[in-house]
Structure 1
Amino acid sequence: MRTAFFLLSITLTAFQANAALELKDEYEAWSHYESQDVTTGKPVIIGVADAKSDGDVDTVALRCTYEGVNLLFFKSMKREEPGYQAKASIDNGDAFNVDVWVKGSTHWATMPEKQIETAVKGEKLIVTLQGTSDKEQVTVSLNGFEKMYQVLAPTCKENV
């Protein structure tokens, strides 16, 4: 859980939110955190889940950005280019592309809107993140994702 708190602290800093991070609720595998944006006064909502990977990622955050609903994966390696397309699947179904943007050593994956309906009904999301010379497969539980998404989605348009 120490990794989750570190992850949330960095994520909230990007939103210019204050340090009043508060656990609001838990939805199966997802934890709902909130803080107030110091500029707008509106709540900043972030969902956090543990992840399983064959590399360094052990926590994933769900948040709103200008691109839509994003998943944040911490990675230990940097990439030269600012982004890439990764492959993802829900419950080992058909693979789809996910746009990933690299900021420092974090990888931000935008969930395609057309995949959200499948995700809310699914059990697990598998994303293959790329490093400079290798790939890392990350599995995130989707148990509780629907409730976390329902809480987060309405705030996306008003906070970005």
Structure 2
Amino acid sequence: MNAFFRYLKQYGWLTLLSSLLLIALVIMSQTLQNASSFADTYSALLFFTFGGVSLLLFILFRTVFKLVRQYKRKVPGSKVTVRLTLISTLLMSIPTAIIFYFSLTFIQQGINQWFDVKTEVALDNAASLARISLDNKTRDSLNFTLSIAKANRDL
């Protein structure tokens, strides 16, 4: 039980901050889907997540600094800790870099596809169809208004 409280004291703030950042990212994702609330909340969420990520980076660099200091002082177990840290960093960064690369490629292809010639022609066709539909509706409304005006003039 004492070990649990020691763990909570050591990593509780980090867990809380990570959870809050995850919640902020979910809220940001939902905000991006709703255009009306996008402008109101996006900047506040962006600043919040920027501050949280900055705090996480500060904690990371502080921990790395402590590890380097322990390694220089030749504290028992520091070499093993450095090796484990390097191995876990490599094991985490390689899949993250691969996912980042494929995500970036997917996003770039999606953006390039928006400005594709086929898409542009389809958008032009949709705009002309909407224009024709609006003209027909306007003509029908004008004819209806003229017929009502003729009927009222005869009264």
| TM-score interval (norm. to shorter) | under 0.3
Q: Looking at secondary structure, tell me which structure has more helix per residue.
A: 2
Q: Looking at secondary structure, tell me which structure has more strand per residue.
A: 1
**Bigger relative contact order, structure 1 or 2 (CA pairs below 8 A, ≥6 apart):** 1
* Structure exhibiting the larger radius of gyration computed from Cα positions: 2
